[in-house]
Chains A and B, each alone.
Chain A
Amino acid sequence: KQEVTQIPAALSVPEGENLVLNCSFTDSAIYNLQWFRQDPGKGLTSLLLIQSSQREQTSGRLNASLDKSSGRSTLYIAASQPGDSATYLCAVEGAQKLVFGQGTRLTINP
């Protein structure tokens, strides 16, 4: 059974710093990996999707990497801003179903 782990559970950094969020998964037989952002009490916003054949994807200040063989993905956020404060979730897809990690709660301090 696929398990997805995100460490740390919470992270607080000063504005302007570059930071990395981590995601690991136990079964490397995945179709893709997706990173989401969730603001308190709201739904999920898709940030990036990496297909299993890809190594990374970029969108603005965000860069996500995927290493299937080691079961790891990272989300790199450059020049963090207070508006980046949210919970970040990664999810891996296999058999048409997403399995989610518990998320990392990120706080950017002005």
Chain B
Amino acid sequence: DVKVTQSSRYLVKRTGEKVFLECVQDMDHENMFWYRQDPGLGLRLIYFSYDVKMKEKGDIPEGYSVSREKKERFSLILESASTNQTSMYLCASRLAGEPYEQYFGPGTRLTVT
């Protein structure tokens, strides 16, 4: 079974803090993704990575950056957290190529106060 894990299920941070969200997958998947999910807005893609050290902006990259130094790990960084970044953050991974399913982690509920 594919396993995608995220470093925290719940996280509370203060405005202005630098926040790291970690995602690890154990199936040697090339592609990894970060989404945020908000009521009424659904899931929106923040960043994705085709492979190690590669990254592409998604639909809402502002205020975020990412890092992929190893194939199994994809980090989302909030450089200076703001209250409007309070959300559920979901990581996903999959093999390269369109016919393959995306597999999601359990999510991190981030609250910025």
Contact = CB atoms under 8 A, between A and B. Distances in A.
Interface in B68-104: 90, 92, 98-104
A89 B102 contact: no
Given A89-B43, A97-B58, A41 B107 contact: yes
A91 to B, nearest CB: 8
B39 to A, nearest CB: 10
A93 B98 contact: yes
Contacts, number: 51
Interface string A36-79: 10000111111001010000000000000000000000000000
B52 to A, nearest CB: 17
B57 to A, nearest CB: 11
A42 B98 contact: no
A44 B109 CA distance: 14
B101 A46 contact: yes
- The prevalent SS among residues of A at the interface is strand
Given A43-B104, A44-B90, A89-B43, A49 B99 contact: yes
Contact of B102 (A41, A98, A101): A98
Contacts of B42: 89, 100-103
B99 A45 contact: no
Given A42-B106, A43-B104, A44-B90, A32 B43 contact: no
A49 B100 CA distance: 8
B2 to A, nearest CB: 9
Interface of B: 4, 31, 33, 40, 42-43, 45, 48, 50, 58, 90, 92, 98-107, 109
> Nearest 9 A-B pairs (CB), nearest first?
A31-B98, A44-B104, A43-B104, A100-B43, A43-B106, A46-B101, A43-B107, A102-B42, A49-B101
Given A31-B99, A96-B48, 7 more contacts: A34-B102, A42-B107, A43-B90, A44-B90, A46-B102, A98-B33, A100-B42
